[in-house]
């Protein structure tokens, strides 16, 4: 090495150190801004929760006062009972349900879980005063639901990435990790190819590599959604929308149907349920239970092995007469053979085409996340013969195979429309790729 080269190397080293210091300062500034945003959001949510509870208690006290005045002259004992009643006891059934939702979706502590959830919302451009307790609660549950997948995937992933620049050997290890997490062959190939191309162009440190990985994962699940030209699946107001829920038994079709009915009502749609799975024992009764829970009427025939197409026929008639906007149809998950099942679905579609040719029809495959590659095989099988338009992934809260979402998107080329992560009515949400990937890779 010549003496002329030494100063240049020192300058280069000094420049590199300066860049790293600036990056560190920027990161600290971003972290502080994110923390400040979270604190603002926490205080505003705290105030909203207090105001909502006070409004409910005010309503309950007014109800108690009216009751007291009505009974005062006739029943002094009843009056004394009302005067001493606990506030919660005065709430009517509707108010009790709302209060229970508030308590179930409680704000909790200002902890890592809250700040992470707030950070995800802030990154999507939301303002502190525009978010709700439900937004925070859902993200907490989604992150918790993906914990098993994260433990089996992200811990090893972070270890492989380390703090040094990425190498071809790290990408080889990453490829094995992705396949093990049920991400699927196509999706894994896309990710690794993109990373290798980027690595050939520039030195990629671990943080930038991790950010690039997130981008690639989002692109994979977003592609079928973009191709559908409908970012979020929602019924069209003042039109008849018919959503068929298909899939094998045990994946959570009936539960998903009840949650979709609840979501539709909360979103301002009129809804009706058709219990067209007449072959599984107690299926109709389960649908009726979920109908009561969600507050949506059910068209059913409790006769064993009743004709599903006839039930759909009656349901379409009822939907038209009542100007229903969303008809949810529960279908059979297993007949004697696959052919019989597909024939039954085809028969239902013919009834819909004949009675409601103007209806907007969606055929949603419900997949159990815990089934991993078996779930992907189901998607491929149904996609060929059931005219699928989307997928609902359930039971993410009990699965270590959440990576199957990427396999479904890349290999079955189906848009993921909803995901479920819990047993409550509100534990089903429209799929958001950014939130899903952030929750999956939440450890960094």
CB 145 within 8 A of CB 422: yes
Residue 317 pLDDT more than 70?
yes
In terms of pLDDT, which residue wins out, 367 or 164?
Answer: 367
The per-residue pLDDT for range 283-302, each reduced to its tens digit, is 899 999 999 999 999 999 98
How far apart CA 122 and CA 41 sit, in angstroms, is 10
Q: Same CATH topology for 147-227 and 241-432?
A: no
Q: What CATH number does domain 241-432 carry, 3.40.1390.40, 3.80.30.20, 3.40.50.300, 3.90.120.10?
A: 3.40.50.300
Looking at residue 23, its pLDDT comes to: 47
Residue environment code for 240-263, b if the CB has 16+ CB neighbours within 10 A, otherwise e: bbbbbbbbbeebbbbbbbbbbbbb
CB 221 within 8 A of CB 237: no
Q: In what order do the strands lie in the sheet with 360-368?
A: 298-299, 271-275, 326-330, 241-246, 360-368, 390-394, 416-420, 428-430
How far apart CA 227 and CA 209 sit, in angstroms, is 27
At 333, is the pLDDT very low, low, confident or very high (cuts 50, 70, 90)?
confident
Locate the domains of the chain by residue range.
5-135, 147-227, 241-432
Looking at residue 361, its pLDDT comes to: 97
Average pLDDT of the residues of the chain: 82
Among 156-160, 284-288, 397-401, which range has the highest average pLDDT? 284-288
How far apart CA 136 and CA 336 sit, in angstroms, is 44
Looking at residue 213, its pLDDT comes to: 92
User: Strand 416-420 relative to strand 428-430: parallel, antiparallel, unpaired?
Assistant: antiparallel
At 399, is the pLDDT very low, low, confident or very high (cuts 50, 70, 90)?
low
Comparing 14-28, 111-125, 319-333, the range with the smallest average pLDDT is 14-28
The domain over range 147-227 is classified in CATH as 1.20.120.140: yes
Binding residues: 247-254, 330-334, 394-397
Residue 311 pLDDT more than 80?
yes
* Spatial CA neighbour of 78 closest among 94, 91, 64: 64
Binding residues for GTP: 247-254, 330-334, 394-397
How far apart CA 405 and CA 186 sit, in angstroms, is 12
Q: What is the mean pLDDT of residues 28-50?
A: 84
Comparing 3-12, 183-192, 209-218, 258-267, the range with the smallest average pLDDT is 3-12
Residue 79 pLDDT more than 60?
no
Residue 221 pLDDT more than 60?
yes
At 88, is the pLDDT very low, low, confident or very high (cuts 50, 70, 90)?
very low
Looking at residue 214, its pLDDT comes to: 92
């Amino acid at each position: 090495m010549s003496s002329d080269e030494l100063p240049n190397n020192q300058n280069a080293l000094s420049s590199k150190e300066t860049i790293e210091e600036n990056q560190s300062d920027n990161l600290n500034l971003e972290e502080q801004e994110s923390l400040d945003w979270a604190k603002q959001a926490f205080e505003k949510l705290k105030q909203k929760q207090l105001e909502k509870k006070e409004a409910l208690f005010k309503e309950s006290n007014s109800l108690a006062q009216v009751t007291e005045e009505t009974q005062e002259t006739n029943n002094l004992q009843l009056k004394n009972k009302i005067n001493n009643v606990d506030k919660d006891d005065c709430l009517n059934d509707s108010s009790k349900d709302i209060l229970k939702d508030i308590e179930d979706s409680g704000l909790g502590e200002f902890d890592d879980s809250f700040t992470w959830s707030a950070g995800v919302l802030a990154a999507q451009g939301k303002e502190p005063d525009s978010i709700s307790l439900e937004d925070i609660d859902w993200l907490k549950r989604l992150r918790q639901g993906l914990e098993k997948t994260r433990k089996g995937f992200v811990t090893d992933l972070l270890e492989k990435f380390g703090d040094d620049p990425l190498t071809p050997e790290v990408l080889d290890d990453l490829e094995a990790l992705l396949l093990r997490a049920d991400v699927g062959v196509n999706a894994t190939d896309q990710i690794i190819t993109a990373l290798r191309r980027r690595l050939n162009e520039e030195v990629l440190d671990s943080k930038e590599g991790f950010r690039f990985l997130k981008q690639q994962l989002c692109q994979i699940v977003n592609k079928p959604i973009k191709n559908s030209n409908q970012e979020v699946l929602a019924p069209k107001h003042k039109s008849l929308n018919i959503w068929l829920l298909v899939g094998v038994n045990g994946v959570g079709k009936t539960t998903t149907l009840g949650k979709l009915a609840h979501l539709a009502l909360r979103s301002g749609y009129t809804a009706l349920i058709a219990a067209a799975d007449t072959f599984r024992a107690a299926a109709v009764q389960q649908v009726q239970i979920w109908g009561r829970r969600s507050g949506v009427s059910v068209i059913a025939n409790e006769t064993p092995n009743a004709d599903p197409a006839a039930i759909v026929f009656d349901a379409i008639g009822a939907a038209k007469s009542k100007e229903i906007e969303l008809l949810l149809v529960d279908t059979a998950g297993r007949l004697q053979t696959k052919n019989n099942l597909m024939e039954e679905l085809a028969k239902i579609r013919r009834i819909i085409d004949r009675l409601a040719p103007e209806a907007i029809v969606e055929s949603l495959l419900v997949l159990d996340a815990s089934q991993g590659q078996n779930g992907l095989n189901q998607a491929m099988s149904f996609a060929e013969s059931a005219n699928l338009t989307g997928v609902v992934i359930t039971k993410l809260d009990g699965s270590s195979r959440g990576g199957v979402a990427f396999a479904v998107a890349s290999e079955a080329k189906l848009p993921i429309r909803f995901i479920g992560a819990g047993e409550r009515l509100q534990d089903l949400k429209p799929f958001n790729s950014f939130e899903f990937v952030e929750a999956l890779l939440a450890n960094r």
